[in-house]
Structure 1
Amino acid sequence: MHFPAAMPRNSLYYTYEVFPYFHSAMDVITDTTTVTIVGAGPIGMTTALALAEHGVQVILISAERQLSEGSRALVYTKRSMEILQAVGAAESIMSKALPWTHGNSIYKGKTVFRMASPTSEHDQFAPLNNLQQNFLEDFLLKKIQQNPDIEIRWGNKVVATQQENNIVTLTIDTPEGQYLHKSNWVIAADGGRSPIREGMKLRMQGASYEGRFVIADIRIKLDYPTERLAFFSPDWNPGNTILMHREPDDIWRFDYQLDPSVSPEEALKPENLSKAVNDQLKMIGMDHLEWEMDWSTVYSARALTLDNYVHNRIMFVGDAAHLLPIFGVRGANTGFQDALDLSWKLAAVIQGWASEKLLESYTFDRVGAAREIIAEAGKSTRFMAPPTKGFHLLRNAVLSLSLEHEFVRPLYHWRTSRPHAYTHSPLNSQCDDNALMNETTENGALFPNYKTGDQYLYDHITGHFSLIIFTEETQLDAVLINEVNGLKKRGIPLKTIAFAMKGQNVQGADQILPISIIDANERYFAGNGTIYLVRPDHHINGRWLQYRENIFINTFDQFLNSSQGVAV
């Protein structure tokens, strides 16, 4: 029988709650439209909330009876916050999180490179935001507890999985024994050591690096701004790297590379953790301050992905689908993008306005994203933690030259996680004007957010397809309106948004937002009559210089009604 910890975890800053476990004396068979999500970490919770936003009922299963321990996925990008805003949790998260924009690379006491993340007046969130994972999960859980479409079952460990036709049977272990749970749809969000993935004997592709790293969360009052501090080859840890991040409630995260001769067990001994922290504090002249250890762990840098995220009725998200190095804040931030992409596609299938073949595009889009990220992460990891003597030699040369020479300093750039552009997505329109328009807003790219007054565009285009029409006219074309209404009758969630370039009222639009002619031209490369079709996850699906009859019907038919399910 499965006995998850029933005593609250210890923490200097967070009060853990132990939740009652769920047990069934008989087999549980879910409704055919209910989705079972295994894993109640940030990605599982976000996927549950995203599906519920589409009206899909969810059962969320957690092997534990309390939230996760420690800071773990600490840094959340602007894109992640936009996704968390889409599921209704961003406001509460940002009430606690610490936003920041700058990262510093320090060598021999000198800041040799200072990276500034770009910002815009139209950004709804800061480029980067620090919050311990337990706090993040707490805010997500509170949102889940308010949602009648989500049921969470604590203390349930999946120990076996079987698929037969369209039914997935999960064998679930609890403190009172096992029961069977049958569902038409299962999402594996059960982490880097995914029992579902291992039970299905699925293997990841990519690279594991030799470097191991310690994360140590300490409570200390340090008068530093909320910025990333990266110390290269410090005297107390030569040849290696240490990162420092501020967290809420006077918690600081020390993240440092281990010498290959030191085992994880040795590194986590209290006396060795204390020595490392004290040595770092001494190096920055803060060894006179008192501090307390809150939590620590060891991890290895890996860059791996499954080659397929959809296996009949079992789908993989987050670390269950891919493992990415933390350099450049890629792990959870990539998982949030999985959650948003999968949720609208699975909802479309369950609600019947798309065929099951649409789910193939989830693999196509997100595996492509993972492979792009792995290529970028490899560059960062090889600099932060050189895997060979050759890479050590190269990094040492950069470190030495950077003290005096400006031209090498950009090599410190840590290639922050960015949203993937689905440039080659099979869903992109093949009957539009994409080739004639500016490549900045090409098909597959994120449609840029826009602030008008106290409103943000993303709050109006989340969770449905958006037909965004730039116009100086006072009324939409009647043929266009009829075409849109026909698609709505087919069950496709579609909303027309008029960007009024003269601030005028526009009859026939579901939503009207004012935009200046200058912003339309410079931000969206749009003139009077330009149209964008945007997916429910904010990515561009198609774009046209001017409306032509049946262009939207043809685009939707391309991937909803073709015999192949998705266009290739």
Structure 2
Amino acid sequence: MSDTRGRLDRIGPFEYRRFAASLPALENGVETQRHDVVIVGGGPVGLATALGLARFGVRSVVIEADDSVCEGSRAACISRRSLQIVERLGAVEDFLAKGLRWSRGRSFYREHEVFRFEMPDEPSEKFPPMINLQQYYIEHYLLEAIAGVNASRPGTVDVRWDSRVSGVSTTDSGVAIEIETPHGRYRSGANWLVACDGGQSFVRKTLGLELAGTGYEGRYVIIDIELASEAPAERRAWFDPPWWRGSTILMHRQPDNIWRIDYQLRPGDCAEDALTPARVQAFVQTHLDAIGEGHLPWKPVWTSVYRAGAMTLDAYRHGRILFAGNAAHAMPIFGVRGLNSGFDDADNLAWKLAFVISNGADEGLLDGYSAERIEAFHENAASAMRSTEFMSPPSRGFDLMREACLSLAYEHPAIASMVNPRQTEAITYTSSTLTPDGDGFESGPAPGGVAIDVALDAHGQFLSDVFQAPGFTVLAFGLSTDRKQSLAQALATLAVPVQIRSVGVTGGEHDFLVSAEAMARITRAYGAGEGSVYLIRPDGHVAARWHRPSGQSVRVAISRACATKLDVMEEACLN
């Protein structure tokens, strides 16, 4: 995105705090301390990666070119899967307290509503399917979580503001980094560098790497406005509206009476003209008049221009340099896969990098990060591209097909389903580091899928609470005490953190006691019986599952998930 506004002091009640640059301890222009991890970019993905590493006791330095959190709504839709990740990072309560939950979308063709979708939103779910929360709040709350980590473990995450990376080169043992600040330049060194520096990634360009994929001609103007409207929080889309023919308009409600409006520039429209105050005023007022809210006072807050694209690097690991978020891939805004994919990147990468640094895991585990997240990109891109081709037709042929679909959708509901924006969903990995499923399960999350969350009781306790600790979780259903002790003995010599948690009916000797009714729901969701076991990775994905596992089979599955031989893991533990 290209921001056309100046420096903001506040948006609604949100006040920007500016952070001063600083210099670390130096000797002849070189930082005296060498770091395990340097993260380039202090946006949501970089901060989430730092928090993810901190969960495993790994320190990091975050280099951020700006002196504050971002301006404008930017990535504003947070999925249920991302909320699960943010919970592990310690910031979800703030996200939920401020964010606006929503589950419904409506689409209009000219003057008629032609499609409506509802995302599953059961009262028994721990998190809503989606919340709207501006990116500046997202970054602010992640910084608050970092402050909490540093309060208990000083120096765990060092965020360096107003500092720009001006050079990156690899060495035999890591990465050399050149950093510019208002106080002068210095050189630093790290064993690993994680590039989270966005779509115009300096690190990516320095390495001569390019994103490859599909770019779209359609351009969208984004306008944040302050408007005291009582309209509900839902996704609304207008195709070829009578008040702005030949365009598509999207509108989302956000906290603090901030509304985000995206509209497609028509052929011949100039982006610079569209961002002028006069054009913004004319468009927004015309749109609000048309939807019955033109009588309300409003003011513009932030504007930007966006061009859709689905592109990726061919590898997210290049030696000791790793890429995540928009530095690794670009996603269209439709279906809200951009930041949500970035959170998944951070979640997948953090535990693997931590295990390589601290637990003797082979560096090949990081190649697994790259393989899984590129697999996720292609799955996300397939859905996003279908949505984008509908929202922003790449040719006259697509345009005619969309027009035909929309014109028939009002009277033919089956056709209307083609208007579905296909919101982001959790990805199932099929990586070779997972244990193949061969133990007779007929239902439940297969290896590679995300563990299903289930309410344990009526008091707000959920199955995901069982596997919140950093590390692997052996999730057992009705496991006897003797079998649990046997598994614990078999796993005791492993170098990586593993916890065994048994869920069972009240009256038994289990870590989590539930009613018979709750146990039936859980075992049904997991296709499990008494004594069944799931191995859950630190990122909440299933690594393996069995009905009657031996301790050795669980040990082998953990080593496989870590891309490391058992004897290496045990040696790391002994040392």
Q: Label 1:268 to 1:477 Cα distance change in 2 as closer, same or farther (>3 A).
A: closer
Matches within 5 A, 1:65-104: 65-104=67-106
1:363-400 per-position Cα deviation (integer Å, ceiling 9, x unaligned): 01101001111111100000011110010000000111
1:12 Cα deviation from its structure 2 partner: 3.7
1:383 corresponding residue in structure 2: 390
2:246 corresponding residue in structure 1: 239
1:11 corresponding residue in structure 2: 11
1:315 corresponding residue in structure 2: 322
Is 1:438–2:442 an aligned residue pair?
A: yes
Matches within 5 A, 1:504-515: 504-506=507-509
1:429-455 per-position Cα deviation (integer Å, ceiling 9, x unaligned): 14x535x21254111000101221322
Q: Label 1:241 to 1:29 Cα distance change in 2 as closer, same or farther (>3 A).
A: farther
1:353 and 1:490 in contact (8 A); partners too: no
1:142 Cα deviation from its structure 2 partner: 1.4
SS of the residue 2:125 aligns to:
coil
CA distance in 1, matches of 2:564, 2:178: 36
Q: Label 1:31 to 1:180 Cα distance change in 2 as closer, same or farther (>3 A).
A: closer
CA distance in 1, matches of 2:89, 2:564: 29
CA distance in 2, matches of 1:196, 1:465: 32
SS of the residue 2:523 aligns to:
helix
2:164 corresponding residue in structure 1: 157
Q: Label 1:185 to 1:415 Cα distance change in 2 as closer, same or farther (>3 A).
A: same
2:218 and 2:264 in contact (8 A); partners too: yes
Matches within 5 A, 1:46-195: 46-148=48-150, 149-195=156-202
1:451 corresponding residue in structure 2: 455
Matches within 5 A, 1:234-383: 234-383=241-390
1:140-198 per-position Cα deviation (integer Å, ceiling 9, x unaligned): 11111222211111111011110011221111111122111111111111011000001
CA distance in 1, matches of 2:462, 2:399: 46
CA distance in 2, matches of 1:459, 1:211: 43
CA distance in 1, matches of 2:544, 2:479: 21
SS of the residue 1:479 aligns to:
helix
1:494 Cα deviation from its structure 2 partner: 0.5
CA distance in 1, matches of 2:50, 2:88: 12
1:30 Cα deviation from its structure 2 partner: 3.9
Deviating more after overlay: 95-104 vs 437-446: 437-446
CA distance in 1, matches of 2:357, 2:551: 30
CA distance in 2, matches of 1:490, 1:31: 28
Which of 205, 208, 217 is 2:215 aligned to? Answer: 208
Which of 425, 428, 435 is 1:429 aligned to? Answer: 435
1:201 Cα deviation from its structure 2 partner: 0.8
Which residue identity is paired with 2:453? Answer: N
CA distance in 1, matches of 2:265, 2:476: 55
1:216-266 per-position Cα deviation (integer Å, ceiling 9, x unaligned): 011112221111111111123223210111111111111110113122211
2:34 and 2:189 in contact (8 A); partners too: no
SS of the residue 2:220 aligns to:
strand
CA distance in 2, matches of 1:197, 1:93: 31
1:541 corresponding residue in structure 2: 543
Which residue identity is paired with 1:506? Answer: E
Q: Label 1:357 to 1:420 Cα distance change in 2 as closer, same or farther (>3 A).
A: same
CA distance in 2, matches of 1:280, 1:6: 25
1:6 and 1:65 in contact (8 A); partners too: no
1:77-103 per-position Cα deviation (integer Å, ceiling 9, x unaligned): 011111111100000121111001101
1:473 Cα deviation from its structure 2 partner: 4.1
1:41 and 1:137 in contact (8 A); partners too: yes
SS of the residue 1:35 aligns to:
strand
CA distance in 2, matches of 1:324, 1:284: 30
2:111 and 2:242 in contact (8 A); partners too: no
Matches within 5 A, 1:391-540: 391-422=398-429, 424-430=430-436, 433-434=438-439, 436-438=440-442, 440-453=444-457, 454-462=460-468, 463-471=470-478, 473=480, 475-485=482-492, 489-500=493-504, 502-506=505-509, 516-540=518-542
CA distance in 2, matches of 1:183, 1:72: 30
Q: How well do the aligned residues superpose, as a CA RMSD in angstroms?
A: 2.1
CA distance in 1, matches of 2:553, 2:91: 36
2:572 corresponding residue in structure 1: none
CA distance in 2, matches of 1:406, 1:289: 34
Is 1:197–2:200 an aligned residue pair?
A: no
1:475-495 per-position Cα deviation (integer Å, ceiling 9, x unaligned): 53543232122xxx3322111
Q: Label 1:514 to 1:349 Cα distance change in 2 as closer, same or farther (>3 A).
A: farther
1:402 Cα deviation from its structure 2 partner: 1.0
CA distance in 2, matches of 1:297, 1:549: 56
TM-score (norm 2): 0.92
1:474 and 1:505 in contact (8 A); partners too: no
Q: Label 1:355 to 1:267 Cα distance change in 2 as closer, same or farther (>3 A).
A: same
2:251 and 2:262 in contact (8 A); partners too: yes
SS of the residue 1:147 aligns to:
helix
Which residue identity is paired with 2:86? Answer: L
Q: Label 1:391 to 1:484 Cα distance change in 2 as closer, same or farther (>3 A).
A: same
Which residue identity is paired with 2:159? Answer: I
CA distance in 2, matches of 1:401, 1:560: 52
CA distance in 1, matches of 2:121, 2:59: 37
Which residue identity is paired with 1:433? Answer: G
SS of the residue 1:184 aligns to:
strand
1:7 and 1:18 in contact (8 A); partners too: no
SS of the residue 1:297 aligns to:
strand
1:471-527 per-position Cα deviation (integer Å, ceiling 9, x unaligned): 164553543232122xxx332211111120x223326x6x66666342133211111
**Structure 1: 5+ residue runs without aligned partners?**
none
1:404 Cα deviation from its structure 2 partner: 1.2
CA distance in 2, matches of 1:13, 1:252: 14
2:390 and 2:402 in contact (8 A); partners too: yes
1:110 Cα deviation from its structure 2 partner: 2.3
Aligned length: 551
1:121 and 1:451 in contact (8 A); partners too: no
Which residue identity is paired with 1:253? Answer: R
TM-score (norm 1): 0.93
CA distance in 1, matches of 2:91, 2:409: 42
1:17 Cα deviation from its structure 2 partner: 1.2
CA distance in 2, matches of 1:6, 1:103: 33
Which residue identity is paired with 1:534? Answer: I
CA distance in 2, matches of 1:181, 1:303: 34
SS of the residue 1:528 aligns to:
coil
Q: Taking every aligned residue pair, what percent have the same amino acid on both sides?
A: 36
**Structure 2: 5+ residue runs without aligned partners?**
151-155, 570-575
CA distance in 2, matches of 1:83, 1:344: 12
SS of the residue 1:476 aligns to:
helix
1:10 Cα deviation from its structure 2 partner: 4.9
Q: Label 1:30 to 1:341 Cα distance change in 2 as closer, same or farther (>3 A).
A: farther
SS of the residue 2:495 aligns to:
coil
Q: Label 1:513 to 1:150 Cα distance change in 2 as closer, same or farther (>3 A).
A: farther
CA distance in 2, matches of 1:419, 1:122: 19
Deviating more after overlay: 522-531 vs 327-336: 522-531
SS of the residue 1:346 aligns to:
helix
